[in-house]
Amino acid sequence: DTGVSQDPRHKITKRGQNVTFRCDPISEHNRLYWYRQTLGQGPEFLTYFQNEAQLEKSRLLSDRFSAERPKGSFSTLEIQRTEQGDSAMYLCASSQWTSARGDTQYFGPGTRLTVL
Partner 1 sequence: DAKTTQPTSMDCAEGRAANLPCNHSTISGNEYVYWYRQIHSQGPQYIIHGLKNNETNEMASLIITEDRKSSTLILPHATLRDTAVYYCIVRVEGGSEKLVFGKGTKLTVNP
Toward partner 1, which CB reaches closer, 80 or 109? Answer: 109
Q: 31-70: which residues touch partner 1 (CB under 8 A)?
A: 31, 33, 35, 40-45, 48, 55-56, 58
Those residues with Cβ within 8 angstroms of residue 98's Cβ, 6 or more apart along the chain or in another chain:
none
* Residue 109 found at the interface with partner 1 (CB under 8 A): yes
CA angle (49 as vertex; 44, 46 as ends), nearest 5: 20
* Residue 74 found at the interface with partner 1 (CB under 8 A): no
Contact 10/90 with Cβ under 8 angstroms? no
Residues that bind partner 1 (CB under 8 A): 4, 31, 33, 35, 40-45, 48, 55-56, 58, 89, 91, 93, 97, 102-110, 112
